[in-house]
Structure 1
Amino acid sequence: MSSNTDPVRLELYVRTLSPPGARTRQEQVLKRLQRLEDEGHIDDFYVKVWGRQIDPTTNAAETDQGEFILNRIAEFKQWALANNTTLESFYQTREQSSSITGQDHTTIVLPKMGLAEYHGNELEQVTPCSHGDDVTSVVNHLDALERRLVDQPTASAAATVAEE
């Protein structure tokens, strides 16, 4: 479990070649992350570009990029399981047939945008995710994070108020 003193790091995953509407949302999220970092509310953020899907059974797992993405997806799914949350509708597994080889293979469709929040080395939140019928989007996640980090008084400000 993380503590309030652990550094907060965010990882934003964006899909390449997204349609214009998705690109606009991605740019808005990037601006918010940069502002949070500039104002000292988060320690760092990292942007990783990924494709539309990944095939865990092919050579993708043998590349550094592919291995990184597959490891993150496994970590995200473990977090979801531990937190009674699901990522299934956002990381859909699909069976596809190769037009070249004629063989079937499994792919994981990646979301247009995903956000992972770490406190120290502990994964605290992954979005998008769902809990029952409630869906938490990347924007919902950032809204809640800003309320926690920006709107709460710092320890020194709280001490000043208590002394008055």
Structure 2
Amino acid sequence: MEATTNSDSIRLELYVRTLSPSGARARQEAVLERLQRLEDEGHIDDFYVKVWGKQIDPTTRAADTDQGQFILNRIAEFKQWALAENTTLESFYQTHEQSSSITGEDHTKIVLPKMGLAEYHGSELEQVAPCTTGDDVYSITDHLDELERRLAGPSAAEQATVSPVAEE
């Protein structure tokens, strides 16, 4: 991931599943508090919260709504990013085949994560969390920790460079 400069406009998008169990709601609230703090302190320009359901079936009429198209477009963008970054989102955006007992037709459903985070610099997608690289899972908490470190800048110890004084 590239280093962030002050001229970059940073926007975060948080996607949360509705009707999540209480443990997931507590994690969602903790992430929302961190995002609000980042915005209040001027570290990010904006954050956006989008509520989505448990799953989406791309073949239904619901997928043709503005909300459905937005979700499908974001998933496609996230998957394209993952491909370019040599990472995967498959364990977090699972697809399941389901047969209708009424029509006998098969449908593909995309199960949405309880929570997902996307970081944009301007209009460019820079990071999606959670994601997996090899056996390593990069969580939303991991991303917020890393983002806070990047935005805090170098520590005082890193800024103080010791240069030897040349003796004449």
TM-score (norm 2): 0.87
CA distance in 1, matches of 2:103, 2:18: 26
Indicate the SS of the match to 1:85: coil
Matched with 1:40 is 42
Matched with 1:152 is 153
In the TM superposition, what are the counterparts of 1:44-59 in structure 2 within 5 Å? Answer: 44-59=46-61
CA distance in 1, matches of 2:77, 2:137: 19
In the TM superposition, what are the counterparts of 1:79-94 in structure 2 within 5 Å? Answer: 79-94=81-96
- Structure 2, unmatched stretches of 5+, are 162-168
After superposition, the CA RMSD in angstroms is 1.9
Instruction: From 139, 142, 154, give the equivalent of 1:140.
Output: 142
Matched with 1:123 is 125
CA distance in 1, matches of 2:15, 2:24: 12
Larger radius of gyration: 2
In the TM superposition, what are the counterparts of 1:99-114 in structure 2 within 5 Å? Answer: 99-114=101-116
TM-aligned CA deviation for residue 148 of structure 1: 0.6
* Superimposed CA distance per residue, residues 65-93 of structure 1 (whole angstroms, 9 cap, x where no aligned partner): 00000000000000000000000010001
TM-aligned CA deviation for residue 114 of structure 1: 0.1
Matched with 2:166 is none
TM-score (norm 1): 0.89
CA distance in 2, matches of 1:139, 1:101: 43
* Superimposed CA distance per residue, residues 89-139 of structure 1 (whole angstroms, 9 cap, x where no aligned partner): 100010012244332200000000000000001000001100000100111
CA distance in 2, matches of 1:99, 1:7: 49
Percent identity of paired positions between Structure 1 and Structure 2: 79
